[in-house]
Amino acid sequence: MIDNVGEPGAAGVPPRATMSWPRAGRLPRTGFAALRAGTRPGTPIGAASATGIRLERGGAEDLVNDRPLVIEIVGAWGAGKGTLLHCLNAADPSLRIDIDVWHLPRPLLVRGAFEAARTIAGLFANARKFLWTEAKLIIKLRAIQRQLRDPRLAAHSALVLDEGPVFALSGLHLAGHRAVGNGGLAAWWPRTLRHWAESVDIVVHLDAPDTVLARRIRDRPRFHPLQQSGDVEMFDTLRRYRSACERVLMGLTAYGGPSVMTFRTDQQTTPQIAQQVLAAIARARNGR
């Protein structure tokens, strides 16, 4: 959520960007599976309308043209991220769709841990406790950063991520210790947001009303951690994720990108959304 108060330059807040923190807290037993939550109906800060596309980007001129486009799909459980991902790939097999923060090569994770050691040590010192969940996310963000630089990925026209850096950054806000935002990562947030603003080209933000998401979650044939939750708990989880996700999107927008496309999946079909996303990818390619 956007707030009208705050100190420019605070942890993770670029100059002149002020945002409120979501309520910190652990999710019940679900780990980071429970970070798959929703986004509030309507358009978040820096986004297009529910059917529109905003491709203008402050830092577009500085993009490296010899790398694939990077697109991340974000949204709630039941919003249709996986369905959209596979619909896009069926329409354009040149897209790479199997990169996420959960399936990173072990050598990259080891290197990421080494490179992030000082940041993690500072976070632990600030919190006065070991924050292993937060540390793992920081390491994964470092590892996926290197994976996306792999020159072998240049064979693909675009990389479409489900649960990539925007997901991980939102997860830090949602489930992270208070030290994540009160100084423990003061130098890390601006640097990290700037990097991903330059590295992610398009965010596809899927949404639906809470009642629709709840019904879809409960109707899933496979087990889901929130299936047995009551409406109050489920809607609270969705609300807190919305706040975290909007904060990340605003932080990225303040650094010049990425473009954000927002869709209500209770109002448009997956093929309709996929067609618009593919058109945006084509325009972004041609505009390089």
pLDDT in tens, 239-273: 888 889 999 999 999 999 899 999 999 999 999 99
> How far is Cα 27 from Cα 65, in angstroms, rounded to an integer?
40
> How far is Cα 252 from Cα 211, in angstroms, rounded to an integer?
29
- Sign for the CA dihedral angle at 74, 69, 187, 5 comes to negative
- Grade residue 9 by pLDDT with cuts at 50, 70 and 90: very low
pLDDT at 52: 35
To the nearest whole number, what is the mean pLDDT of the chain? 80
Non-local (6+) Cβ contacts of 90 within 8 A are none
**Domains of the chain: residue spans and CATH:** 32-286 (3.40.50.300)
> How far is Cα 237 from Cα 231, in angstroms, rounded to an integer?
10
pLDDT at 183: 79
> How far is Cα 255 from Cα 269, in angstroms, rounded to an integer?
32
pLDDT at 74: 95
Contact 95, 68 (CB under 8 A): no
pLDDT at 49: 32
With a cut of 90, say whether residue 139 has pLDDT above it: yes
Share of the chain above pLDDT 90, in %: 59
pTM for the whole structure? 0.77
When mean pLDDT is compared across 91-100, 184-193, 226-235, the lowest value belongs to 226-235
pLDDT digits (tens, 9 = 90+) for 157-196: 899 999 999 999 999 988 778 889 877 898 899 999 999 9
With a cut of 50, say whether residue 60 has pLDDT above it: no
pLDDT at 266: 95
With a cut of 50, say whether residue 46 has pLDDT above it: no
> How far is Cα 81 from Cα 270, in angstroms, rounded to an integer?
9
